[in-house]
Amino acid sequence: MVRVLVTAGPTVEALDPVRFLSNRSSGRMGYAVARALLARGHEVVLVSGPVSLRAPAGVTHLGVESAREMLRACRDYWQDCDALYAVAAVADYRPKRAVLHKLKRHEGEGQVIELTPNPDIVRTLARSKQGRLVVGFALESRCGEVEARRKMEVKKLDFVALNGPEAQGAERSSLLVLGADGSRVELGPTAKPGLARRVVRATLG
Ligand code: CTP
C-alpha cells in the first residue's frame, strides 16, 4: 500500500467575484484514477478543482479553485506521498488582475484582459520527486506522441498518458501510455473507470 496524490478537474481563475476563466474538464478521469487506486488498497489524497462529482468514500479530498490554490494544497501533502498522478486540467494562465467588485456592463467595452502564467504543478512537485513515481496526462490535438514525450522529459515524468480533445467530458476514451524508458502501451477505447484501472496497472503495477 502506498500513499498517492491525485490532482483532478479544471482550475478556475477569477476575473471578478462572479466571473472566471476555466476549461471543459469534468474531473471524471481524475476521480476514476482515485477510485482505481483505492480499489487496489492504496491511500489517496485527491486535490480537485470544482467538479460536479462526489469524492469517492475513503479519499482525503481537498477542493480548490485556482492553480495557485491547487499547488499550495499539493505541496502540503506531497512530502508524505509516494506517487503523484497529475490528471488536473490546470489553467496555464490567469487574469493578471482579478478585480474585487463585479465588473459592470459599461466597464467591459474595449477592456483587454491581461494574462499571467500559472505555476506548472506537476513540474514543480517533480523537482523534489526523489525517486517517487510521477505520472502526467497530456491532451494533444496534433503531433501527440512527440509532444507528450517532450512534456515527459521537461516535467520529469515517469509516464505520460496521452489522449485527444475528444476525451474531455466523454464517457469512453482511449489512452496511449508512454514511459520514460521508451515503453508504449495503448489502452481502450473503453469507459473511464476501466481505463483508469488499466492506467494504474500500467504505471504503478
Ligand atoms: N500540468 C500542471 N500544471 C500546469 C499545467 C499542466 O500540473 N500549470 C500537468 C497536467 O496535470 C498534466 C501535464 O501537466 O499532467 C500536462 O498538461 P498539459 O496541459 O498537456 O501541459 P502544458 O504544459 O500545459 O502544455 P501545453 O498547454 O503547451 O500543451
Domain boundaries, the chain: 3-95+113-204
Q: Which three cell numbers stand for residue 126?
A: 517533480
Choose the residue to mutate in 133, 151, 154 for probing ligand 1, maximizing ligand atoms within 8 Å of C-beta: 151
Catalytic-labelled residue, pool 3, 16, 21, 23:
23
Stated pTM of the model: 0.96
3-state secondary structure of 188: strand
Q: What is the DSSP string of 112-134?
A: ---EEEPP-HHHHHHTT-TT-EE
Specify whether 118 is catalytic: no
Bond before 117 cis per omega within 30 degrees = no
**Residue 192: closest CA among 9, 36, 22, 48:** 36
pLDDT in tens, the chain (205 residues): 899 999 999 999 999 999 999 998 999 999 999 999 999 999 999 999 999 999 999 999 999 999 999 999 999 999 999 999 999 999 999 999 988 899 888 888 888 999 999 999 999 999 999 999 999 999 887 778 999 999 999 999 999 999 877 776 677 889 999 999 999 999 999 998 999 999 999 999 8
CA angle 140, 144, 149 (to 5 degrees): 110
3-state secondary structure of 72: helix
- The CATH code belonging to domain 3-95+113-204 is 3.40.50.10300
User: Strand runs (DSSP E) across the chain, as ranges?
Assistant: 3-8, 13-14, 20-21, 43-48, 60-63, 83-86, 93-95, 115-117, 133-139, 159-163, 172-179, 184-191
